[in-house]
Amino acid sequence: MKKLVGGNWKECCSKDTFKFLGRLREEQFAGLDAFIAVPSIYIAQARHEFPAFLRIAAQDVGRHEAGTYTGEVSAAMLRENAVEYAIIGHSERRTHFGESSQMVAQKLKQCLQHGLRPVLCVGETADCRSAGTHIEFLHEQLRDSLGGCSDSSVDIAYEPLWAIGSVLGAGVAQIQEVAEHIHDWMASYGVSGRVLYGGAVTEKNVTSIIAIRSIDGVLVGNASLGEEFGAIAHKVRAAACGKSSN
């Protein structure tokens, strides 16, 4: 499977953010899967202005098929509008909007039913990590977020809450430990897909992250808002050539 480089513009972009995309180079992304998740209001602009090597992703998906759910955007609507990936269960949705893993499981089901490729985020808090219970916590979060969706194709992003928006992000040993567990859990649930890392990924640290054997890509927040995103993709490419894929 190709390495994946995903961006997430969160609520941090404007119409002008698209301008830097014209300065990305196709060769930086050659042989990779790449997307940027935009707020729904910018999907139409993304359809016009994204270069061919970038897929459009949603930052969230409604958990119902359709109906009287003011403000929601369904998986079917996203697919109708050329969206190919959807981030679900991001910690900012879980923390600020009260999303439970059960709600995330409904969203996952909608994605799979409508052919949207889900990128499911899991991650522990700093307290959980210092208590040494992160592996149990993550297993539970993954199991509950997957719901009954075994035998499916889902990319899983490990995004520790304490690393998102931080200066350094998580260390290589910390990422490796969790990524290996995630691969094992995916196998036990019959889930195929890539394991990504997210949390302060930059041009400076991406080479050591992608060198981790069980990491198949990165999810980039802040550094996806400018040309650094192209530099990150370029380094993922370069490093991926030097290791066998999982």
Torsion of CA 87, 79, 227, 201, to 10 degrees: 10
DSSP 130-153: HTT-HHHHHHHHHHHHHTT--S-B
Q: How many residues bind ligand PGA (CB under 6 A)?
A: 13
90 is catalytic: yes
* Piece in contact with ligand PGA (CB under 6 A), picked from 17-25, 184-192, 216-224, 230-238: 216-224
Reduced to 3 states (helix: H, G, I; strand: E, B; else coil), residue 35 is strand
* Piece in contact with ligand PGA (CB under 6 A), picked from 38-46, 67-75, 142-150, 196-204: 196-204
80 is catalytic: no
Is 205 a binding residue for ligand PGA by CB under 6 A? The answer is no
Q: Token pair of 38, please?
A: 């935009």
- Which residue, 62 or 198, is less far from ligand PGA as judged by CB? 198
Burial of 39 (0-12, 13-18, 19+ CB in 10 A): middle
- Binding positions for ligand PGA, 131-170, rule CB under 6 A: 159, 164-165
Is 7 a binding residue for ligand PGA by CB under 6 A? The answer is no
Among 197, 193, 190, 179, which Cα is nearest to 135's? 179
Chain residues in the site for ligand PGA (CB under 6 A): 8, 159, 164-165, 198-201, 219-223
